[in-house]
Amino acid sequence: MTKKQIAYWVITTLLVFSVISGGVAELMRLPGNVDGMARLGYPLYFLAILGFWKVLAGIALVVPRFPRLKEWAYAGVFFNMTGAAASHIIADDFGAYAFHVFVTLSLAALTIASWATRPQSRILGTLWWG
């Protein structure tokens, strides 16, 4: 395996573990997730929606083939994580919970890193710069 392939699998494994475990926690309505949704002003049924799609996105990122599905999964995870960071900031939750902003933006960065290092077999079409 090349260094790029090793980097891809390390980054993607961290990302997928984080996304799936977060999705499962949301589906289970763990107290921290429920409190977070309430603090941000979102209805609790968002936990089921976000949890469901996070678990599916995590699975989509590791199964072979399906490059278009992977593109959608990467986009969904990126939008979810950046949206979560923005929600914490906008809800004036940044001061007390800066950790959540840092974590969600770190996961957004991991999403970009996984997308950028993915092997040719997981790329849909060609990149305009490469």
> How confident is the model over 26-76, as pLDDT tens digits?
999 999 999 999 989 999 999 999 999 999 999 999 998 888 999 999 999
Predicted structure pTM score = 0.90
More confident residue, 115 or 125: 115
C-alpha dist (Å) from residue 56 to 20, 40, 52, 107: 8, 24, 6, 17
pLDDT above 70 coverage of the chain, percent: 93
Cβ burial, residue 128 (10 Å; 0-12/13-18/19+): exposed
The pLDDT score that the predictor gives to residue 129 is 56
Angle, helices 45-62 vs 31-40, to 10°: value is: 110
> With contact defined as beta carbons under 8 Å apart, do 34 and 44 qualify?
yes
Residue keyed to tokens 């902003």: 101
> With contact defined as beta carbons under 8 Å apart, do 109 and 87 qualify?
no
- Please provide the DSSP assignment of 59-120 as one string: HHHHSSS-HHHHHHHHHHHHHHHHHHHHHHHHTT-TTTTHHHHHHHHHHHHHHHHHHHH--G
